[in-house]
Structure formats: C-alpha cells, structure tokens
Amino acid sequence: MKIRQLTPTDAENYRNIRLEALKNKPEAFSSSYEEEVEYSVEKYRSRFNNDHTYTFGAFEGENLVGTVTLICETKKKIRHRATIVAMYVKPDQRKLGVGKTLMTMAINKAKELEKIEQIYLAVTVGNEPAKRLYTSLGFVTYGVDRKGLKIDGTYFDEELMVLMF
C-alpha cells in the first residue's frame, strides 16, 4: 500500500473512484453522482492545481483504492481552519488501516502547514465505522446538522466533528 498526494496526472483515476463513491454511498457525500458524472477529467485535474487543497490517495499497485481531501480556508479570519472531505475507501480495502492512514496523512499535512489549528468534518449519523475512525484520531462531536442531506425525499442528519491541535 502506497499513500501519496495526488497530482493532475491522477485526475482520471480520481474521477473513477469519486464516481464509485458517490454512486455506492450517496448519503456520505454532499455532492451527487448525477452532478459529478457531468464533470470532465479536466475539472478534477484543476482540483489538484491549487495551493489550499490537498488530496491524498491510497494505491494498491496502480489502483487507486482510497482518497481523502484536506481543504484549507483562505479567508483571513478563518485561515486557521481546514475541512476534511471526500473520504472514501473501496469496500474490499476497508478494515485494513487504509482509512486511518489516509486521515493521518491529511492531519499531518494540516499540522505541517502550521497556520491550521483545527480540522472539521461531517459524518452521516449512523455511519459508525467512519465515526469510530474519526474519534480514534481525536475528533470530537460539536453538533448535529439535522436533515443536513436530502436524497430522493429522504433526510440524513450529519454529525459535525472537529479536531483541535
């Protein structure tokens, strides 16, 4: 298993795993498959070309099997904050430490940046494996976004978590 920051050359592989994640676990993401399937590889490539977003990928050989993205805030008053989004590990790679390693890479990147003091994320209420992972890394719940997501008329609450360092 190799974990590294993704670059523009990884855009096609990233698009494939991203669409899989959105299709298989729609309640885990604020984006939808229907929206992102329309995105070109170029749109994903551009995500890897800015100085405030860091996407990490876990590779099994040449296959991208997990991803996580750290987005650092750019506005002056909230530059001390970052958010974790787009966390996904392929089902056959779960319970092998891939998610924990990806999250640790993102957290370490935030700490390396020095200006970041806290990292936020949201996890769908009921997604206990993800919540256990985040809690094991020091994240604590600070609120619940009731009816935070609506998919085909069904609402999902999101637990809001933060890691401060």
Q: What is the pLDDT of residues 4-45, one digit of tens each?
A: 999 999 999 999 999 999 999 999 999 999 999 999 999 999
The tokens for 19 are 């669409």
| Fold adopted by 2-164 | Aminopeptidase (3.40.630)
Q: pTM for the complete prediction?
A: 0.95
CA distances in angstroms from 157 to 29, 52, 54, 146, listed in the order given = 12, 28, 27, 5
Q: What is the pLDDT of residues 39-68, one digit of tens each?
A: 999 999 988 988 899 999 999 999 999 999
Name the residue with tokens 């650092």. 72
- Nearest Cα to 48, choosing from 83, 81, 12? 12
